[in-house]
Amino acid sequence: MSRTRLHALLASALIAALVAVTGPGPASRPATATATATATAAESAPGEVYEVHYVPTVGDAVIRVEIWRDASYDAATQPVILTYSPYNSISEPEPARDSVGETYVPQGYARAVADVLGTRGSTGCWDYGGSAEQQSGVDVVKWLARRDWSNGKVAMIGGSYNGTTASMVAARGDDVPELKAIVPIAAISRWYGYAYGNGVRYLLNSEVPSDEGFDTPLAFDLGFGKTVAADPMGQHFADTMRDRAAECDAGEHTEEGYSRNPDYDGFWRERDYRRHADDFRAAVLLAHGWQDFNVKQEEGTELWRRIPVDRPGTERVEGVPFKLMYLAQGSHGGATGGKQWDDLLSRFLAHTLKGEATGIRREGPVLTQGETSTGVTGFRTLGDYPAPGLDPTTLWLRDGTTLAGSPSKDKHVTSYVETGTSTEEATPGTTYLSRPVRQATRLVGSTVLRAQVRVSGETMHLTPVLYDEAPDGSRTVVARGFQHVDYRDGLASAEPAPGAWLRVGVRLLPVDYTLAKGHRFALAVQSSNTVWAVPGNPGTVDVAEGPVRTRLRGSRLVLPTL
């Protein structure tokens, strides 16, 4: 499918999200503003206070911030729990009066909710996680920390985009010392990884069809990026109308977000918070769902893995004071919940924002809920991620049918024709089976297919699927992988090599899964998974299962067995 046709189909499907506005051209973006914002609601007597403020930021824009607090705590000063969100239009009329506020305002925390740059009551242009959006988040945190009722400490919390903004601001490190804690839940850490699986454009999914992200960025540019605050008599309403009418960078967002050959260029580097993991200084409580089909699991695990923890004995600050990761068997909306999570969060915030001794540093640091062939386990603790004690198991692809413990000594090639129509339920690829395992076998992390392949054309993919096969032959998906073959050596630029034997590593999405005794691993090697991803070009794929060239011993599967 051509890029132009793909964009046309996306626009047709999502045009209903457009909110019609009128006004002059786009807003400018000069340096950061630092003037004091004014409140739209006067200070009230001790008791509950709900205020709306406008905080100056980049490009002469202002960020709408709503604060709910109990003023009876003001004399002792209050820490702030902030969510920086593009979704507040669906939480009218007072988005700060949410479940977080209901829990923590009575405990002496101030609850703040702000509209992301270019959405709802904030002026400017929606920036799709870019530098302007990052700076605006920093400006909001600093402004909140300077309130006379604040103790100067701010935490950021939220799910999905709302958690992404927490990681985004934390990546600014020493620029925002007021940020003491973040709780990113099911959050993006690298916008490229939200759109693409190693160069393959994610599409929908067959597990929870409503839990997907193909609408971003287009629906945001057409929808959330066009929202207007609910107070048409407010002082900034005319400015929001003007900015919503502007094109902003919607064209660039679409070009970068729906490409069939997506180079990891400056656009994506600007939106990669993992690149700045060394700069994180706020304590981290990260939560993600092992069954998240929207913001894939590795967005959480890879960020957590890269964030360093400060070594107290050194003069220089190397990282965060501590970090925790909470991994539940939930989908995009089910990464948290229940008494265990509520208690963990409460102790985390009390320690980081109020300095209370809650024992939170002795937790985890990784709490993970596993899945098995027969159901879900309880939470178990790991000393790190990747898990200490991993003893990877290597299985070699043999004879077009077998996963074996040793490589083939004979040259053998299995071929299939890729039509661009296969799914994981019906694939023209090749499926390999291991022997039944002699004991329960736990995988924690990412399985890797290290394949030797030859493809007949450019822009072809590998999308292997790992299954648990029961003794009765029924199969359950364990993990999926996505790899654009032309980006096998890195994402900076495509390097097609049709007709040549290539080494292609495919890192499957991470899991915590235990295969029951007597079950088998089954691996489907295929080149499209059309429900889950936009397919590449059709053609022929040859898979080497033995030595086809010097030092090319064949193809193998490396399992993260614990």
Write down all domains in the chain, each with its CATH number in brackets.
Answer: 26-189+271-382 (3.40.50.1820), 393-559 (2.60.120.260)
Across residues 16-33, what is the average pLDDT? 31
Across residues 159-167, what is the average pLDDT? 97
Across residues 520-527, what is the average pLDDT? 96
CB atoms within 10 A of CB 266: 8
With vertex at residue 207, the alpha carbon angle to CA 9 and CA 184, rounded to the nearest 5 degrees, is: 90
Nearest Cα neighbor of 219 from 11, 501, 44, 460 is: 11
Question: Is residue 35 scored above 60 in pLDDT?
Answer: no
Beta-carbon contacts of residue 366 (< 8 Å; ≥ 6 apart): 324, 325, 327, 381, 382, 383, 384, 385, 387
Beta-carbon contacts of residue 266 (< 8 Å; ≥ 6 apart): none
Share of the chain above pLDDT 90, in %: 78
Per-residue pLDDT at 8: 40
CB atoms within 10 A of CB 285: 27
Per-residue pLDDT at 213: 79
Q: What's the rounded Cα separation, in Å, for the pair 212 and 425?
A: 19
Across residues 177-198, what is the average pLDDT? 97
Judge whether 28 and 59 are in contact, CB under 8 Å: yes
What is the secondary structure of 52-91 as a DSSP string?
EEEEE-GGG-EEEEEEEEEGGGGGG-EEEEEEEES-GGGG
Per-residue pLDDT at 38: 45
Residue type, position 157, single letter: I
Question: Is residue 334 scored above 90 in pLDDT?
Answer: no
Beta bridge partners of 445: 511
Token pair 């009218």 is found at 92
Judge whether 137 and 169 are in contact, CB under 8 Å: yes
What's the mean per-residue pLDDT of the chain?
A: 90
Per-residue pLDDT at 435: 97
Start-end of H helices in 190-231: 191-195, 218-222
Banded model confidence at residue 30, pLDDT cuts 50, 70, 90:
very low
pLDDT tens, 466-505?
999 999 999 999 999 999 999 999 999 999 999 999 999 9
Backbone angles phi, psi at 342, to 5 degrees: -60, -40
With vertex at residue 146, the alpha carbon angle to CA 141 and CA 149, rounded to the nearest 5 degrees, is: 115
Q: What's the rounded Cα separation, in Å, for the pair 307 and 314?
A: 17
Per-residue pLDDT at 247: 85
377 token code pair: 């386990």
- The maximal CA–CA distance of the chain, rounded, in angstroms, is 84
Per-residue pLDDT at 4: 37
Per-residue pLDDT at 161: 96
User: C-alpha dihedral over 377, 381, 387, 391, to 10 degrees?
Assistant: -60
What is the secondary structure of 92-139 as a DSSP string?
-S-TTSSHHHHHHGGGTPEEEEEE-TTSTT--S---TT-HHHHHHHHH
Nearest Cα neighbor of 446 from 268, 332, 305 is: 305
Banded model confidence at residue 21, pLDDT cuts 50, 70, 90:
very low
515 token code pair: 């295969």
Higher per-residue confidence, 334 vs 213: 334
CB atoms within 10 A of CB 427: 21
Question: Is residue 98 scored above 90 in pLDDT?
Answer: yes
Token pair 């096998």 is found at 488
Q: What's the rounded Cα separation, in Å, for the pair 259 and 132?
A: 23
Per-residue pLDDT at 428: 64
Lowest-pLDDT range, 28-32, 64-68, 80-84, 386-390?
Answer: 28-32
pLDDT tens, 242-281?
888 888 999 999 999 999 999 999 999 999 999 999 999 9
Question: Is residue 31 scored above 90 in pLDDT?
Answer: no
Per-residue pLDDT at 344: 97
Question: Is residue 551 scored above 90 in pLDDT?
Answer: no
Per-residue pLDDT at 372: 97
Share of the chain above pLDDT 70, in %: 91
Judge whether 158 and 185 are in contact, CB under 8 Å: yes
Judge whether 263 and 256 are in contact, CB under 8 Å: no
pLDDT tens, 265-321?
999 999 999 999 999 999 999 999 999 999 999 999 999 999 999 998 899 999 999
Per-residue pLDDT at 222: 86
Question: Is residue 352 scored above 90 in pLDDT?
Answer: yes
Q: What's the rounded Cα separation, in Å, for the pair 348 and 486?
A: 44
CB atoms within 10 A of CB 459: 18
Question: How far apart are the two ends of the chain, measured CA to CA in Å?
Answer: 42
Banded model confidence at residue 338, pLDDT cuts 50, 70, 90:
very high
Residue type, position 274, single letter: R
Lowest-pLDDT range, 152-156, 180-184, 284-288, 414-418?
Answer: 414-418
Judge whether 113 and 85 are in contact, CB under 8 Å: yes
Per-residue pLDDT at 438: 97
Q: What's the rounded Cα separation, in Å, for the pair 173 and 176?
A: 6
pLDDT tens, 423-444?
887 766 789 999 999 999 999 9
172 token code pair: 């600014």
